[in-house]
């Protein structure tokens, strides 16, 4: 799983150098944003195949397959820097590379809960899911930190492309060398020793699980909002004269604090088994700090407060994801882990597509007063600064809606824990009976 840390570093690099990417490929900001949107679109159909492959063929083959897809996607994108590729062909080739890499990333996002279930004891599963699921944002953190400093001007995009391809190659090598088996020799828990439902039977069972669909709606919505913030962060901040470096720093703080928050939440969930309570508290606090960030981003010279608000948004928002994945497995047992957690991820991708398209459509031109003020992004050309007040309010409204749904309507029944308790009790009873007979 260590190799997964690197996989996302390229996929999101354009979010912190959007303007230079637009100029390098001579495309509009809408077309550059499609490099993120296509990731979401491609992962929806590939997600069903990823769930099936993980649950049917196994972890090792799926991880290696994902690593190769990611590397191939990176190499396709590298082709765009060569002169033999015409200017008109560069963008389609770039999109193709994004699509291939997106298909590989789907496997990565579906794997954490399955790894935790098969390889870790019940007292370690939440933390194991946290470690694995945080590999993706750790890659994004690396991208947010390094991209603005590597890409000083538009021609530096090629340097970043080669760096990310080298990282992806390392991921392939690590996967093939270190991922040796799909399951351990000895199951670490009773549920790991049991047989999961076949993929299509599991899908049928989930249709009648109302609690799961409420969790899928709200947690998927939270993923979609995170995607929207990381994609549009520079565009939200630049009209108020916050530059690329500050946008990259803000994104990095959100993810760094988020990783810390997720680890703390994972430890608490493993210790207390209160998955529902941890998720609900994280949702409420992350919603409050996202509202604070949006309001502060409307004003100039609020660097410290903006950085603090988005860091705290990440801290509590990231705490939701791994805990919610474990809770999804708990409330859907014995449905296979990649099936239940995969549907949550797909919900986030679908909602993310809708939110990002609407947000770009409803963003308004700057007022005459704001247009005359200094800005950290160019006026005219590929990157026209816009007023993001309405999209930001929409995102805040959705956050409040998801928070209400999961806090008031969602109630969890931990089926996996109950089944394991019964299995342990039965094993203990059988042991006592055997001792009594002897």
- Asked which of 164-168, 256-260, 290-294, 398-402 is least confident by mean pLDDT, the reply is 164-168
Whether the pLDDT of residue 20 is over 80: the answer is no
The Cα 275–Cα 320 span in angstroms is 9
Question: Which has more pLDDT, 240 or 141?
Answer: 240
Residue written as tokens 């950085």? 307
pLDDT value for 401: 96
Nearest partner of 69 among 175, 178, 180, judged by Cα = 175
Q: Categorize the per-residue pLDDT at 228 as very low, low, confident or very high, splitting at 50, 70 and 90.
A: confident
- Give the range among 244-253, 327-336, 398-407 with minimum mean pLDDT: 244-253
CA–CA separation, 95 and 101 (whole Å): 10
Q: Check residues 380 and 33 and name the one with the higher pLDDT.
A: 33
The DSSP bridge partners found for residue 387 are 364
Q: Rounded to an integer, what distance in angstroms lies between the CA atom of residue 319 and that of residue 99?
A: 29
Task: Please determine, for residue 399, whether its predicted confidence score (pLDDT) is greater than 90.
Answer: yes
Residue 219 pLDDT > 90, yes or no? yes
Q: What is the pLDDT of residue 102?
A: 84
Question: Is a pLDDT exceeding 90 seen at residue 405?
Answer: yes
Q: Quote helix, strand, coil % in the chain, to nearest 5.
A: 80, 0, 20
Question: Which pLDDT score, from 0 to 100, does residue 18 have?
Answer: 67
Residue 428 scores a pLDDT above 60: yes
Distance set, CA 107 to CA 53, 59, 95, 180, 346 (Å): 9, 9, 19, 17, 12
Query: In whole angstroms, what is the distance from residue 244 CA to residue 54 CA?
Result: 39
How far, CA to CA in Å, does 80 sit from each of 88, 194, 203?
10, 48, 40
Segment 126-146 mean pLDDT:
76
Using the Cα atoms of residue 14, residue 18, residue 21 and residue 25 in order, give the sign of their dihedral.
Answer: positive
Q: Are 377 and 238 in contact (CB under 8 A)?
A: yes
Residue 13 pLDDT grade (very low, low, confident, very high; cuts 50, 70, 90): very low
Torsion over CA: 115, 117, 120, 123 (sign): positive
170 or 137: which leads in pLDDT: 170
In percent, the amount of the chain with pLDDT more than 90 equals 19
- HSE of 438, CA atoms in CB hemisphere, 13 A: 6
Is the peptide bond preceding residue 26 cis, with omega within 30 degrees of 0?
A: no
* Rounded-to-integer distance, Cα 242 and Cα 16, Å: 12
Backbone phi, then psi, for 88, in 5-degree steps?
Answer: -70, -25
Question: Token pair for residue 169?
Answer: 């190659």
Q: Which two tokens stand for residue 359?
A: 């947000």
Stretch 277-283: mean pLDDT: 93
- Distance CA(198)–CA(189), nearest Å, equals 20
Is the pLDDT assigned to residue 305 strictly greater than 90? yes
Q: What are 365's strand-pairing partners? A: 386
Range with the lowest mean pLDDT among 18-22, 169-173, 226-230, 431-435? 431-435
Helices (H), 82-156: 87-110, 112-119, 125-133, 135-150
The per-residue pLDDT for 125 is: 80
What per-residue confidence (pLDDT) applies to 245?
Answer: 78
Percent residues over pLDDT 70 in the chain: 88
Using 50, 70 and 90 to split pLDDT, how confident is the model at 3?
Answer: very low
pLDDT of residue 400: 95
Model confidence at 9, pLDDT cuts 50, 70, 90, reads very low
Q: Is the pLDDT of residue 30 over 60?
A: yes
pLDDT band per the 50, 70, 90 thresholds, residue 10: very low
Mean pLDDT for 70-86 is 88
Mean pLDDT of the chain: 82
Question: 158 vs 11, which has greater pLDDT?
Answer: 158
Of 53 and 380, the one with more pLDDT: 53
Tokens representing 221? Answer: 């919505």
Helix 303-332 to helix 112-119 angle, to the nearest 10 degrees? Answer: 50
Q: CATH second-level architecture of 4-181+194-428?
A: Up-down Bundle (1.20)
- Judged by DSSP in three states, 386 sits in strand
């Amino acid at each position: 799983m260590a190799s997964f840390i690197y996989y996302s570093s390229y996929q999101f690099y354009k979010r912190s150098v959007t303007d230079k990417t637009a100029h390098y490929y001579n495309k509009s900001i809408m077309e550059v944003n499609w490099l993120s949107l296509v990731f979401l679109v491609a992962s929806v159909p590939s997600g069903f195949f990823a769930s099936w492959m993980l649950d049917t063929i196994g972890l090792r083959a799926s991880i290696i397959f994902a690593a190769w897809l990611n590397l191939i996607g990176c190499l396709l994108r590298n082709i765009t820097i060569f002169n033999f590729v015409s200017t008109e062909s560069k963008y389609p080739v770039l999109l193709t590379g994004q699509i291939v890499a997106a298909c590989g990333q789907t496997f990565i996002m579906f794997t954490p809960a399955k790894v935790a279930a098969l390889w870790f004891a019940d007292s370690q599963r939440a933390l194991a899911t946290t470690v694995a699921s945080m590999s993706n944002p750790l890659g994004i953190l690396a991208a947010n930190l390094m991209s603005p400093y590597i890409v000083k001007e538009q021609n530096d995009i090629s340097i970043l492309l080669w760096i990310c391809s080298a990282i992806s190659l390392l991921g392939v090598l690590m996967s093939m060398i270190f991922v040796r088996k799909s399951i351990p020799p000895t199951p670490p828990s009773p549920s790991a020793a049991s047989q999961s439902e076949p993929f299509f039977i599991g899908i049928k069972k989930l249709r009648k699980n109302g609690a799961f669909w409420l969790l899928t709606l709200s947690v998927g919505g939270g993923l979609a909002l995170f995607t929207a913030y990381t994609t549009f962060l520079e565009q939200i901040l630049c009209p108020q004269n916050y530059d690329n470096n500050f946008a990259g720093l803000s994104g990095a703080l959100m993810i760094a604090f988020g990783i810390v928050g997720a680890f703390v939440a994972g430890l608490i969930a493993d210790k207390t088994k209160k998955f529902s309570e941890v998720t609900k508290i994280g949702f409420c606090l992350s919603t409050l700090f996202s509202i604070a960030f949006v309001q502060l981003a409307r004003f100039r010279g609020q660097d410290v407060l903006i950085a603090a608000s988005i860091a705290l948004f990440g801290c509590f928002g990231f705490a939701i994801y791994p805990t919610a994945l474990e809770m999804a497995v708990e409330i859907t047992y014995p449905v296979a882990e990649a099936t239940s957690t995969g549907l949550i991820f797909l919900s986030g991708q679908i909602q993310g597509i809708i939110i990002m398209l609407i947000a770009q459509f409803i963003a308004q031109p700057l007022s005459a007063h704001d247009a005359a003020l200094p800005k950290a992004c160019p006026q005219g050309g590929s990157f026209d600064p816009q007023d993001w007040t309405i999209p930001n309010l929409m995102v805040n409204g959705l956050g409040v809606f998801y928070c209400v749904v999961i806090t008031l309507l969602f109630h969890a029944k931990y089926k996996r824990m109950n089944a394991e308790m019964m299995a342990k009790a039965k094993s203990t009873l059988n042991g006592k009976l055997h001792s009594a007979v002897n």
